């Protein structure tokens, strides 16, 4: 296979894709073709990982009983999180929709096999967290690929990580990375939901750059 | 701006991009236009982050003295890592090229401002590591954008994280995420360097999928 070149029009569309790739919380209940998601995960799984350890483990959750328990875990954790806020922050927090657990037709819990011997530990000696980081990279690639199909994804982190391996009945040494709600978004937008809701604006770009 | 649609030819090219996006360790010394990297970082910085906390801090490292110290840190850490291996693994490890610190014309150290109040802590109560994860997502987006310009990136994790904030003279509470070597690759390839070197093959896709 000859090396592909990526031209300016492609890069422009890629920039559009990244601009319109938002964290989605409001989903339609329309079904999503599971094969599209599996195809995307196949592409994801050839991505780079520390020491080529490929520590990503994707749990496709269909069992309704398990999904019900997941929703209960989320609601309990979210109620605790609400109690961290007071005054206007608490009022605003209570109005935010932070997960699409009930509507999104595809639910994916993602774990890292942080103790895998695959890759022989290369690259993770001083930074064992790089195994989790490799899985985060995989999730971000999935986000982009799904969006190119018009499919939205929302990353739910308001969950108790220790309970997740048990709920999903995976190897108890797996580290929970995030739960992903996947479905068609109710709205396509350039603006993050938390900006629109008045929770947190975007910062100016120069706050991110340091010259040394 | 009307919602863009992403068609099948675009998705095919995107798949090619992801297949040819490798972790690069062998760089040409040809200069890379710094404005391209900054433009990519601008696109990166509108990506999603937990609670919209935007915790990514990108350190562009130009100071030769600092780069020399970075190389020494890497070499000392890598020598320690080599001592973890024995026999054939040690022989093979010693032959691997694990960083492009001397050749890559652009060097970027990336940190997470994990104590930022931006985003008011939303989403990171039970999983404080999600701030670091947001920065990892930004790095992965950068990887893809640079590759669309034909530019390669290599993520160096064989570094002592505690020493990095000091070496880069950033806020000591920042968490080091990774050091990125950026430049034109000596070779364009579909095969990860660690596969080619015989260190670690790819696993079959079905090892990553769990049905629940």
Average pLDDT over residues A75-104: 92
Residue A176: the pLDDT is 98
Give the nearest partner residue to A125 out of B59, B66, B84, using CB atoms. Answer: B84
Please, which contacts does A83-92 make with residues 24 or more away whose CB atoms are closer than 8 Å? A84/B121, A84/B125, A85/B120, A89/B120, A92/A197, A92/A198, A92/A199
- The alpha carbon of residue A115 is apart from the nearest alpha carbon of chain B, in Å, by 15
Backbone angles phi, psi at B36, to 5 degrees: -65, -45
Backbone angles phi, psi at B19, to 5 degrees: -70, -35
Average pLDDT, rounded, for chain A: 95
Which residues in A lie closer than 8 A to residue B21 (C-beta atoms)?
47-48
Cβ of B210 and A47 within 8 Å? no
- The alpha carbon of residue B98 is apart from the nearest alpha carbon of chain A, in Å, by 9
What is the number of other CB atoms lying within 10 angstroms of the CB of residue A94?
11
Residue A2: the pLDDT is 82
pLDDT top residue among A97 and B153 = B153
- Taking the C-alpha atoms of residue A144 and residue B197, their distance in angstroms, rounded to an integer, is 30
- The alpha carbon of residue B191 is apart from the nearest alpha carbon of chain A, in Å, by 9
Residue A97: the pLDDT is 87
* pTM of the predicted structure, to 2 decimals: 0.97
Cβ of A147 and B6 within 8 Å? yes
- The alpha carbon of residue A97 is apart from the nearest alpha carbon of chain B, in Å, by 12
pLDDT band at A99 (very low <50, low <70, confident <90, very high): confident
Which residues in B lie closer than 8 A to residue A211 (C-beta atoms)?
59-60, 62
Cβ of B157 and A3 within 8 Å? no
What is the number of other CB atoms lying within 10 angstroms of the CB of residue A48?
22
Chains A–B, number of C-beta pairs less than 8 Å apart = 281
Q: What is the pLDDT of residues A171-188, one digit of tens each?
A: 999 999 999 999 999 999
Hey, what's the torsion of the CAs at A161, A165, A171, A172, to 10 degrees?
60
Which contiguous run of DSSP H or E holds residue A16?
Answer: helix A8-20
Which residues in B lie closer than 8 A to residue A195 (C-beta atoms)?
52
- The alpha carbon of residue B199 is apart from the nearest alpha carbon of chain A, in Å, by 7
Average pLDDT over residues A5-15: 96
- Taking the C-alpha atoms of residue A80 and residue A158, their distance in angstroms, rounded to an integer, is 10
Q: What is the pLDDT of residues A126-163, one digit of tens each?
A: 999 999 999 999 999 999 999 999 999 999 999 999 99
Cβ of B127 and A85 within 8 Å? no
- Burial class from Cβ neighbours inside 10 Å (0-12, 13-18, 19+) for residue B86 reads exposed
Give the nearest partner residue to A19 out of B46, B119, B133, using CB atoms. Answer: B46
- Taking the C-alpha atoms of residue A165 and residue A11, their distance in angstroms, rounded to an integer, is 39
pLDDT band at A63 (very low <50, low <70, confident <90, very high): very high
- The alpha carbon of residue B69 is apart from the nearest alpha carbon of chain A, in Å, by 13
Q: What is the pLDDT of residues A24-62, one digit of tens each?
A: 999 999 999 999 999 999 999 999 999 999 999 999 999
Domain A24-196 sits in CATH 3.40.109.10:
yes
Residue B2: the pLDDT is 82
Residue B1: the pLDDT is 67
Instruction: Please name the fold of domain B23-198.
Output: NADH Oxidase (3.40.109)
Give the nearest partner residue to B130 out of A14, A62, A157, using CB atoms. Answer: A157
Residue B57: the pLDDT is 98
Cβ of B59 and A89 within 8 Å? no
3-state secondary structure chain B: CCCCCCCHHHHHHHHHHHHHCCECCCECCCCCCHHHHHHHHHHHCCCCCHHHCCCEEEEECCCHHHHHHHHHHHHHHHHHHHCCCCHHHHHHHHHCCCCCCCCCCEEEEEEECCCCCCCCCCCCCCCCCHHHHHHHHHHHHHHHHHHHCCCEEEEECCCCHHHHHHHCCCCCCCEEEEEEEEECECCCCCCCHHHHCCCCCCCCHHHCEEEC
Position A3 pLDDT exceeds 90: no
∠ CA B142-B148-B153, rounded to 5°: 50
- Taking the C-alpha atoms of residue B142 and residue B144, their distance in angstroms, rounded to an integer, is 5
Average pLDDT over residues A203-211: 96
Per-residue pLDDT of chain B (212 residues; tens, 9 = 90+): 688 889 999 999 999 999 999 999 999 999 999 999 999 999 999 999 999 999 999 999 999 999 999 999 999 999 999 999 999 999 999 999 888 999 999 999 999 999 999 999 999 989 999 999 999 999 999 999 999 999 999 999 999 999 999 999 999 999 999 999 999 999 999 999 999 999 999 999 999 999 99
Contact A93, A82 (CB under 8 A): yes
Cβ of A139 and B137 within 8 Å? yes
Which residues in B lie closer than 8 A to residue A209 (C-beta atoms)?
38, 41, 58, 60
Strand order in the sheet with B152-156: A209-211, B56-60, B106-112, B175-183, B152-156
CA-based nearest residue in chain A for residue B36: A11
Which residues in B lie closer than 8 A to residue A98 (C-beta atoms)?
122-123
């Amino acid at each position: 296979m000859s090396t592909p070149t990526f031209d300016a029009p492609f890069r422009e569309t890629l920039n559009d894709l990244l601009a319109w790739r938002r964290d989605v919380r409001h989903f339609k209940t329309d079904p999503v073709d599971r094969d599209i998601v599996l195809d995307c995960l196949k592409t994801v799984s050839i991505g780079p990982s520390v020491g080529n350890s490929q520590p990503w483990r994707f749990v496709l959750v269909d069992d309704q009983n398990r999904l019900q328990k997941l929703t209960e875990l989320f609601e309990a954790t979210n109620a605790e999180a609400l109690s961290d806020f007071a005054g206007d922050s608490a009022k605003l927090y209570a109005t935010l929709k932070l997960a699409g657990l009930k509507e999104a037709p595809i639910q994916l819990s993602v774990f890292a096999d942080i103790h895998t011997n695959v890759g022989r530990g290369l690259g993770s000696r001083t930074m064992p967290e790089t195994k989790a980081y490799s899985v985060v990279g995989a999730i971000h690639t999935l986000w982009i690929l799904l969006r190119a199909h018009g499919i939205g994804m929302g990353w739910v982190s308001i969950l108790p990580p220790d309970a997740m391996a048990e709920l999903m009945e995976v190897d108890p040494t797996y580290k929970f990375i995030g739960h992903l709600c996947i479905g068609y978004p109710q709205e396509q937008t350039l603006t993050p939901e938390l900006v629109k809701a008045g929770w947190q604006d975007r910062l100016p770009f120069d706050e991110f750059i340091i010259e040394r």
